Each structure stands twice: as structure tokens, then as C-alpha cells.
Amino acid sequence: MSLTIAALIGSITIFVLAIYLGFELISKVPATLHTPLMSGANAISGITVVGALLASNVAFNSGSPGIAAWLGFTALVLATINCVGGFMVTNRMLEMIAGKRRKKEVS
Amino acid sequence: MSLTIAALIGSITIFVLAIYLGFELISKVPATLHTPLMSGANAISGITVVGALLASNVAFNSGSPGIAAWLGFTALVLATINCVGGFMVTNRMLEMIAGKRRKKEVS
Amino acid sequence: MVDPIIFDIGYLLSAALFITGIKKLGSPRTAPYGNQLGSAGMLLAVITTLVKMQVGNGIIGWELLVGGLVLGSVIGAWLAVKVEMTGMPELVALFNGFGGAASALVALSEVLARIKTGEVPTDMLNLWAIWIAIGLSGLVGWITLTGSLVAMFKLKGGFTIPLTKKWVRFPTWGPPWLNFVKVGLLIASFAFVVMTVREPENALWVWALVGSSCLLGVLFVLPIGGADMPVVVSLLNSLSGVAAAFTGFVINNNVLIIAGSMVGAAGLVLTFIMCKAMNRQLIDVLFKSFGGSDKETVTRTKVGSDPEEVAMMCDGISTCIIIPGYGMAVSQCQHAVKEFADLMEERDVEVKYAIHPVAGRMPGHMNVLLAEANVPYEQLIEMDEINSEFAECDLAVVIGANDTTNPAARSGEGPLGGMPILDVDKARSIVIIKRSLSVGYAGVDNDLFFMDKTMMLFGDGKAMMSALNTAIKEY
Amino acid sequence: MVDPIIFDIGYLLSAALFITGIKKLGSPRTAPYGNQLGSAGMLLAVITTLVKMQVGNGIIGWELLVGGLVLGSVIGAWLAVKVEMTGMPELVALFNGFGGAASALVALSEVLARIKTGEVPTDMLNLWAIWIAIGLSGLVGWITLTGSLVAMFKLKGGFTIPLTKKWVRFPTWGPPWLNFVKVGLLIASFAFVVMTVREPENALWVWALVGSSCLLGVLFVLPIGGADMPVVVSLLNSLSGVAAAFTGFVINNNVLIIAGSMVGAAGLVLTFIMCKAMNRQLIDVLFKSFGGSDKETVTRTKVGSDPEEVAMMCDGISTCIIIPGYGMAVSQCQHAVKEFADLMEERDVEVKYAIHPVAGRMPGHMNVLLAEANVPYEQLIEMDEINSEFAECDLAVVIGANDTTNPAARSGEGPLGGMPILDVDKARSIVIIKRSLSVGYAGVDNDLFFMDKTMMLFGDGKAMMSALNTAIKEY
Ligand SMILES: NC(=O)c1ccc[n+]([C@@H]2O[C@H](COP(=O)([O-])OP(=O)(O)OC[C@H]3O[C@@H](n4cnc5c(N)ncnc54)[C@H](OP(=O)(O)O)[C@@H]3O)[C@@H](O)[C@H]2O)c1
Ligand SMILES: NC(=O)c1ccc[n+]([C@@H]2O[C@H](COP(=O)([O-])OP(=O)(O)OC[C@H]3O[C@@H](n4cnc5c(N)ncnc54)[C@H](OP(=O)(O)O)[C@@H]3O)[C@@H](O)[C@H]2O)c1
């Protein structure tokens, strides 16, 4: 798990590019979509679930699952709630806004 | 100059992100700016001048500057023409379009 | 040699899904698809991680990992399904807090495990890079957690004290000097981050950081009025993305970095967009308190009308504008409202809905509710467009809206000062349905109620609307 | 340990400058600033590279490197300064070709040097990654070079054969079967790339690739009519970006990857935007030839007028629309046109300019020229806006425009079919200044010339405009 300087620079480059991209992605959003967009983005920030998986596994693998392991497990549960709940609640909101509209367009 | 798999993946990630970013950056451009934008972007693609510098130096450093070295040198000249000429010609076009307009705004 | 590439491709693909997902979420037609893309990306990332761990050192606690995932999914799904439309903003805030907490916990777990097993990096580069990433991830993560929790309670308006079942209004408190405390705490937190790097074996600094950043989150949101909560939640959402990105640096994983920093940036943009829609400056939102203060005592009075009287009013008009507000959301009377509109249309009245951008408690709140009640999209008119029509409108029916119609906003002073409002007072006659003369979110008295052309229908939105509909049918 | 980080920060900063530069280039107010940011990024990247090389293994051929940079700068600056406004599109195409060639040459130099010194990678990963990057960089780079050169000559319209001084029109030739040849060549080129990887020591495949891709570039542009060249140049610009990105993989440098792929993507977007402005589908542009074909022989005739007659016409009108076209650019008569407009305005005539999006030979051509002549920006009206005003216009003065005014486009057939045009034929009277009755770029006869209300002023644009101005002053 040792870091090389090249890898660090690569990560920082990716960080900067993704920030630029984030700024560009969203330009004009109608008020109706503010909350769904916020909640969808929030669900995506639950990607930390990947970190939680790694952290709890590393901690449990290390033999003596102390406080670190259980912190990792808590993180896992919270992150999963964030993702799953977030995507579902976003979906519910969108069903009502966009779902109806789509139906109208078809008919 | 050996490549690790992590570095390659990092580069590919950067490649993909930059492509996304490129697509997002430009959305609506007034016709007046089509040519300057094209020519400005073209000048930026002259960034290959960095590659040309490295290539010609490596080739000359290798002791016997054969065909590879002179190819690198040619690349260097062409890339520099592309950058310098490109930025200057873009500037000339913009001076006429935007420069005039700015002057008007001030007065 | 081929295996590791597959995992990286998996991560790259999931990052691409996130990017496309966020992009599509920004436009009405593609938003549901965008959300699906996002969740597909998440699933892919989780599966990739599980397989990678199994292929790597092997997973020891399969039951635990899967258990955690299942437990989280069940809780998340349950919360998402059972919440009512009015409770959505609170839930989003809660989820957001969980996300921040998870990032902070991963960082904490990592640093404690490393200290315990003595895996503290010895070379400068690794120490600085990893320890700073851990510190920042914790700092931002804990702020997100406690800030989001406070925001959630503020959105709810308060909480019941356990056992006593007493409802307590959540306080909004922020004297000017608090801003100095906040700055001081922020500096202290950064100092703690630096200290963790200088004494990497000492867990004390880590815990100090946890404490200071948790406190910071609370103090950050405490002075902000409930009306500004959506903006704050959006900002906290941006922070939770940043926390995830820092966690990505801790565990050296690109997909966290990409998704996290993208959400961070996009969330910030959204925050500004929302500020603009609410006609507020971000800096004012964060450092000047607004609304949610103690309600003014109502001194004036107005005699209420009854549904029959209003039904009579409704006869013979030709244009009617319906102005829904937070009260419609609370009493869930959108279906009754739609029925009222249908009754009016049967009588050849032209019906439109005036949608204020911040009516209700979340942006787009009214659109969501009315869409649920099958109101045709074309009848929902945005503020800017409909304001010119009030002068030609025979009857304006205000259902549980208050601040968004309050002419006091035009004066430019007070908590509502400068907020654009619906020009309901220009209508030929006005009916207002609410339970009392009491104030709305911003806590400002509303002259509209006391105008001669205004009839007040006091009562719960749903009950009153039904009564009105019955009265119209019988008239 | 600190040193290498500085270089990487330099590269990262220059990438950020490129990104911001491209973004700013897309909006009129910020475009000049965007261009400066881009050039600052380039300067930073070059300096970073030079310092890094010196600090690293040391630079042996300083004179050569600096010499190359200076030589390139001088040539580039000279070309940029001496070109006339009308020649800009050609110059951009030429520069673009140089950029592609540079990428291809770097790749070629790298592969030849490695073969010569025996530094061919032995492990699969390096071999595949580097050799494929080299192959693709060459493939795309050579296509860009030869394609851009052909495009340049097409934009010029032709070339003088050396020694004989004979002007030859550049041919446009592309029977349907040529598309199959192109596909075949493309497949062959990819096969050569694969072969370079399979026999990495064998330079033969490299040269085969050079040949096939050069040919491909020529055949790709040869069938495309001159009128579509701007789109093609934009597409080639995108390709030159892609070539630079592949070169980035070859020399393992992120700034090349970022700048290159960003230009690649942005160029593609711009290509589509331009297609849309010219009302063409990209696929039609690339695979169906259009315009630039042999000119039709003119059979009808029309008697020309003289400036005095037109000066008389100009007296007593109250609205005048000026329609500039390619002929104004060729004869450089924009100042005379502005003088004409001033004369009209002195006589209380309202003057406007009708700007067709593809008038001239590059988008925005007319705006640039008229801005040079100090025409106020508000008087330049876009096609969609001004078309409704022709019916109320007393006099339309067409100066060297043809296709953009040709009513034949409305029929939907022929090379002009479907192109939106300026409704000049609706004006009450029309004056057209051009040298003859001959056709414009698309090679279609123009009924406008033969209408009764049309007066033709035959002659060079500048000469004719000056004569007209004198006549008006003397009238
Ligand atoms: N949309 C957003 O993003 C957002 C988010 C947070 C805050 N805000 C703020 O919230 C406010 C929204 O304005 P608004 O006009 O929609 O609402 P409001 O000003 O908050 O007023 C809502 C009114 O509904 C009435 N009401 C409550 N429950 C009811 C029930 N069951 N039946 C009938 N009436 C009921 C209340 O009066 P009674 O108590 O007399 O019944 C109250 O005066 C603005 O100040 C806005 O800035 C907006
Ligand atoms: N803007 C772009 O991006 C772009 C790029 C490439 C091609 N195109 C195409 O170019 C065409 C542009 O239309 P347009 O109406 O501007 O031009 P056009 O249709 O090409 O016609 C220009 C006319 O100017 C006359 N002319 C040439 N030299 C002259 C001189 N010295 N003095 C006076 N008149 C002169 C020519 O007639 P005489 O020979 O009789 O004098 C010619 O008919 C369109 O077909 C467009 O699709 C546009």
C-alpha cells in the first residue's frame, strides 16, 4: 500500500479534472429538479461504500477486529443507507415529476 | 521509461475524463467564433511540441543522431509553427471581432 | 496480469456511469435515466470491489460485509419508501449526513488500524499524503454529519423529546461573535490535522479533530434559518462529495476521487443555482441569520368565511388562479385541489396554478405534489409568467401559502425583503385557506389577509377543500 | 524529491490553463482572454519541459532545441502576420496539418530510435501499450497532415504549378466506389498497427503505416466540395488533438493526454455545431460530394446598370439592407461599403447589414471584415431576424454574395437544396454588385439576377463601390 510520487500526481490530476468536469456538467437546472438532482448527487457521494468495504475487510483480516473493524462496519452500513436510500428516494421524486410528464408526451 | 499497469490505467482514466470535459466545455458558440475557436483549439493541439522536445533530445543524447533525431527536430519546428502561428492568427481574428466590440462597450 | 486490468476497467466504467448520470439528472426528460445510470455505477463499483478483494487477499468476514450491505440496503430502502413527500428534504439531509459520516469513519478506521498495527508510513511522501488525506476526509466528513443532522431537525421544525413526548422547536441561534468562534474552530481543526502528521502515532490528535469538526458542523448550521435549509443541505452535499474524494486518496482509489470531487463541484454549482432561485446570496445565507425566528404575535383579527359563501363567489367567474403553498403539502390536499379545479373547468372557468419557485419546503415541492394529483403540466405557470395575469384574474385561491404571497416582501425590508412574490393582491377577489392568521416560515405578518377583497377560510387544508368542493357541487 | 513534483505541478497548471482557455474561447466577450490563457499554458509547458530535461539527463543539443523553437516561432509568426483576412481558413488548415505531422513524427522518431538502440520493450504490457500508442498516433497524425493539405488547397481553390505559373483548379473527385477503397485502406492501416506490435523490430510495417495513412488522408478529403471545407478542417482539428493525446501515451506525459483528448472532443462538438449552422449532416459532408463541381455555363443574359443609375435609385429611399458575400472579402471593399452606408445615413436612410451564417468562406467571415471597417455591431443582423424585414425594405444592395441569396435553395433540390437563404428577392428593389453573371460556390444559377426589379452592377467590388459612392456624392 505504499504510494509512489507518480501515482500521487496521477491522482491529483484526476482530482482536478473531475472537479472541472463537475463544474461543467450542470449549467441550468429547472427548479423542479433541484431536489432530485441534489439527492441523486448525494447518493453518488455514497461511493465511499467502496472505501468502507476495503476498510472493514482489511481491519477484520488483520486478525484482531478491534475498534477499527467496527468503525469500518458502521461506515459500511451508513454508506449503503446513503446509496440505496438516496437512489430510491430520488427515483420516487422523479417518478412523480418526470414520469407524469412522459406519460403525457406519449398520449 | 518502463510502464507500470497502474500508471497506464491512470493515464487512461485521465484520457477518458479529458474527453468528457472536452465534450462539456463547448455547448453553444455563435457563428462568429467558429473559426477563432477552431484555430485556438488547433494551436493547443500543438502541445505535441513537448513530445517533440523530448524526442529530439533523447535522440540526440543517444550519441549518434541518426534519422530519428532529425525527425524529432522536424517535429519540433512544425509543432512550434502550429502553436505560435495558431495563437497569433487566432489573436488577430479575435482582435477584429471582440476587440472592436469591447471598444464600443467602453465608449 | 490481466485480472487487475479488469477491476480498473470496472471502476473506470462506473466512474463514466456516474458522470453521465449526473449530467442526465440535470434535465427533466432524462433525469430518471440519469438516476438509474448512477445506481448502476454504484452496483458495478461494489461488485468490482468485492471480487477484487476476494481475488486479492481473500475476504475473511463475508458474512459481515454482506450483512452490512444488506442491513444498509434494508434500512435505506425502508426509509425511502415510507417517507412522505413532505418529509423528503429531511430524509435527503439525513442520507447526506450518513454519507459524510461513512467517509469520516473509513478514514478513522484506517488511521486507528495503522496506528495499532504500527503501519505508520516512514517516508515523508506517504506520511504527508496519506495522513493529510485522512485528516481532511475526517474534517469534512464530520462537519457534513453534524451539519446535516442539525439541518434535518431544522427542516422538520423541531423534535419530540424522548419519553416526555414534548415537541420542541429547533432553535436558531447565532450572535455575530459566533462567526469568530467558527473561524477559530476551523483553524484549530487544521492545526489538529497538521499535528496528526507531526505525531503520527498519537491517536489523541485524531480524536481532537473528531471533536472539533463535529462541533464546527453544528455551529455552522445552527444560526441559519429554516427557510435557507435547502441551500445548506446542497452545500453539505457538496462537502460529502469532497469527503468521499479525500477518502479516495486515503485508500488510493480513483473512482472515489472522481465521483467524490465531481459531486463536490456539481453540488457547489447547484448550491449557487438554488441561491439564485431563492434570491439570496450564499454569503448572506451562511453568515446572516434569516427567518425562523420567534413568530410575531398576531394582533389584528379578521372574520373567517364559510365554504358556502366561497362557493357562491366561485359562481360566475371566468378566470381562477390557484396558489398552493406549504399548507397544501402538510395537509396533503392536492387531490382535493385538483377536484376543485375540475369543478371549475366544468363551469367553463379557466384554471391556472401559480407556482412560486420556493413555495413549500423544497424547490419544486408544488410541482411534485400537483403532478401526483395529475394536474396537467401546462397549467403550472411559473411566477414570472403568471404575475402579469393576476390583474385580470377574477378569483385567486390561496391554499396554505403565506410568505410567497406576502406584499411585505416588496418593501425590501425585514426577513422577506426583496424576495420576489406572487402578485396575489392584484386579483379581483381572493380566498385564502389556512388554519389561522398566524405567520409563515419567515415569521412576517401578511397584510393580504386583512384586505377587504380577501375571504379567509380557516381550517385544515384538506378538510376545507373538501368542504368547499361539496359546497360548490351543491350550489 | 521535491523537484519532480514541481514539474508535475507545472504540467498540471498548464493543463488547467488549456481547459479554461478553450472554455473561454467559446464566448465572444472572453474569447481573447481564452486565447491568451491557452498560449500561457503552452509557454509554461515548454519551459517546464526544458527545465525538466536539463535537470534530468541534461540537454545535449541546446542549440538545436532552441534553434528549432526559434525557427518554428519565426515561421509561425511570419505566416500569421502576413496572411490576409481572406486567407485565414487556409492558414488554419495548414497549421493543423503541421500539428498532426508533428505528432506523427514524434511517434516515428520514437519507434525508429527504439528499434535502432534495441530498446524494444520485452514485456507484453509495455510492448502493447507503447507500440499501439505509437501506431495510432502515426495513423491519426498522417491522416491529419495530408487531409489538411488537401483541404488547404481546396480552400484556396487551386494552386499555381511551379515554373509554368499556370493556375490549376484543385479537383474534387469521388466516385461512390472510392468509399470502399477508403474503408479498405483504414482496415489495412489497423492491420499494420497490429503487425508493428507482432514484429516490433521490423521497421517495414511502420513505413507501410505511414504510406497507407497518408494516402487515406488524401482520399478522405478529395471527394469533399470546397464549400464543406470548414467542417472538414474542424474535424481534422479534432483528429490532430487525438494524435497529440496518443503521443502523450507514447512519451507518458499527462499534459499531452489532457490537452489532446480535450481538443479532440471539443473539436468534434464544434464540427457538429458548424454542420448545423451550414444546414448539413456530417455524414453527408463526408460521404456525399457537394458543390465545387464544374460550373454551369451561363445561358441567360442581363444588361448591366451603371453607378449613376443606381445613385438615382438610392435617392428618396428610407430603408436599405446591405448583403455582403464572398465577393466583398475578395475585393476587400468593406471600407467602401461602410462609406456607402455612411452616405445613406447622412440622407436619413436606415441602414442594416444582413449576415448569412455561411456568407464568405469561413463562418463569421463577414462579421470580421465589417468589424474591421468599424461597422457598429448592432447593425449586423443575423439571417433569422432580418428575413422578415426584406418585404419592408426599399433597396437591397448585394455585394459579391450569390449562393446565400439564391431562391433556388427554397426548392429543396440541387446542391443548395434546403440551405436557408436571405429573402433578398422580397425587397422592393435590388442592386447586385459582382463581376459577371457567373455562379457562386455551389455552382447554381441564380434567378435573382434576372428579376425585373434587379439592377446588376458588373465589376470588381471595390471599384464598383467607389464609383457608386462618388456618384452618390455628386448626385
Ligand atoms: N421551497 C423551498 O426550497 C423552501 C425551503 C425551505 C423554506 N422555504 C421557505 O418557506 C416559505 C414557503 O412559502 P409558502 O407560502 O409556501 O409557505 P409559508 O409561508 O411557510 O406558509 C405556509 C402556511 O401554510 C399554513 N398551513 C400549515 N399547515 C396547514 C394545514 N394543515 N392546512 C392549511 N394550512 C396550513 C400555515 O398557516 P397556519 O398555521 O395558519 O395554517 C402557514 O402560514 C418561504 O418563506 C420560503 O423561503 C422554502
Ligand atoms: N462561410 C463558410 O463557412 C463557408 C465556407 C466555405 C464555403 N461556403 C459556401 O460559400 C458560399 C457563400 O455564399 P456567398 O453568397 O457569400 O458567396 P458565393 O455564393 O460563393 O458567391 C460569391 C460571389 O462573389 C462574386 N465575386 C467574386 N469576386 C468578386 C470581386 N472581386 N468583386 C465582386 N464580386 C466578386 C462572384 O461572382 P463573380 O464571379 O460574377 O464576380 C460570386 O458569385 C455558400 O455556398 C457557402 O455554403 C461557406
Q: Where are the domains of chain B?
A: 30-106
All residues at 6 or more sequence positions from C219 whose CB lies less than 8 Å from its CB, including other chains:
C178, C181, C182, C185
For residue B21, give the chain A residue with the closest CA.
A21
Q: How far is CA D232 from CA C447, D23, D93, D150, D284, in A?
A: 65, 22, 9, 10, 12
**Alpha carbons C444 and D68: distance in angstroms, whole number:** 73
Greatest mean pLDDT among B36-50, D1-15, D167-181: B36-50
Give the CATH fold of the C307-474 domain.
Answer: Rossmann fold (3.40.50)
The predicted structure's pLDDT at residue C180? 87
Q: Catalytic site residues of C?
A: 403
* ipTM score for this prediction: 0.72
| For range C270-294, the mean pLDDT | 69
Chain D partners within 8 Å of C1 (Cβ): 124-125
Q: How far is the CA of D434 from the centre of ligand 2 (A)?
A: 10
Q: Phi and psi for C420 in degrees, rounded to 5?
A: -70, 140
C23 or C363, greater pLDDT = C23
Chain C partners within 8 Å of B20 (Cβ): 16, 19
The pLDDT tens digits of the residues spanning A4-45 come to 777 888 888 999 999 999 988 887 777 667 888 889 999 999
Domain boundaries along the sequence of chain D = 1-79, 87-287, 307-474
pLDDT at C298 over 60: no
**Alpha carbons C252 and C5: distance in angstroms, whole number:** 16
pLDDT at C366 over 70: yes
Chain A and chain B share a number of CB contacts under 8 A equal to 31
Confidence of residue C291 (pLDDT cuts 50, 70, 90): very low
CA distance C111 to chain A (A): 8
Which percentage of chain D shows pLDDT scores above 70? 93
The predicted structure's pLDDT at residue D148? 94
| For range B46-75, the mean pLDDT | 81
* Mean pLDDT computed over every residue of chain D: 86
Confidence of residue C207 (pLDDT cuts 50, 70, 90): very high
* B44 touching C (Cβ < 8 Å): no
**Alpha carbons D271 and D285: distance in angstroms, whole number:** 11
Please report which ligand is nearest the Cα atom of C462: 1
Q: Which of A5, A8, A9, A25 to mutate to test the interface with D (most CBs of D within 10 A)?
A: A9
Q: Is D310 helix (H, G, I), strand (E, B) or coil?
A: helix
C-alpha cell at D307: 453607378
0.80 cut: is pTM over it?
no
The pLDDT tens digits of the residues spanning D121-157 come to 888 888 888 899 999 999 999 999 999 999 988 887 7
Confidence of residue C231 (pLDDT cuts 50, 70, 90): confident
The pLDDT tens digits of the residues spanning C387-442 come to 999 988 889 999 999 989 998 888 767 677 677 889 999 988 899 999 888 888 77
Chain B partners within 8 Å of D367 (Cβ): 31-32, 97
| For range B71-85, the mean pLDDT | 93
Chain D partners within 8 Å of C125 (Cβ): 1
The pLDDT tens digits of the residues spanning C68-79 come to 999 999 999 999
Strand partners, C351: C320
D228 or C42, greater pLDDT = C42
Q: How far is CA C462 from CA C459, D113, D159, in A?
A: 8, 82, 82
Chain A and chain D share a number of CB contacts under 8 A equal to 20
- In this structure, the strands spanning C166-169 and C158-161 are antiparallel
Ligand 2: lining residues by beta carbon, under 6 Å? D 227, 229-230, 278, 325-327, 330-331, 358-363, 365, 400-404, 433-436, 438, 440-442, 460-461
The predicted structure's pLDDT at residue C422? 92
Q: How far is the CA of C239 from the centre of ligand 1 (A)?
A: 28
Restricting to B residues 50-69, those with a Cβ less than 8 Å away from any Cβ of D are: 50-62, 65-69
**Alpha carbons A12 and C66: distance in angstroms, whole number:** 32
CA distance A5 to chain C (A): 7
Which of A7, A20, A27 has its CB closest to that of B10?
A: A7
Q: Which of D81, D140, D262, D276 to mutate to test the interface with B (most CBs of B within 10 A)?
A: D262
Restricting to C residues 121-180, those with a Cβ less than 8 Å away from any Cβ of D are: 124-125
Helix axis angle, D31-55 to B48-61, nearest 10°: 20
Q: How far is the CA of D442 from the centre of ligand 2 (A)?
A: 9
Ligand 1: lining residues by beta carbon, under 6 Å? C 227, 229-230, 325-327, 330-331, 358-363, 365, 400-404, 434-436, 438, 440-442, 460-461
Considering only CB atoms, which residues of chain D are within 8 Å of chain A? Answer: 1, 4-5, 8, 12, 15-16, 19, 23, 254, 258
The predicted structure's pLDDT at residue C295? 42
Say whether A16 and D254 touch across the interface (CB within 8 A). Answer: no
Strand partners, C434: C458
Query: Which of D402, D419, D450, D468 to probe ligand 2 with, by most ligand atoms within 8 A of CB?
Result: D402
Cα D165–D170–D173 angle (5° rounding)?
150
What is the DSSP secondary structure assignment for residue B83, as one 8-state letter?
A: I
**Alpha carbons D22 and D27: distance in angstroms, whole number:** 10
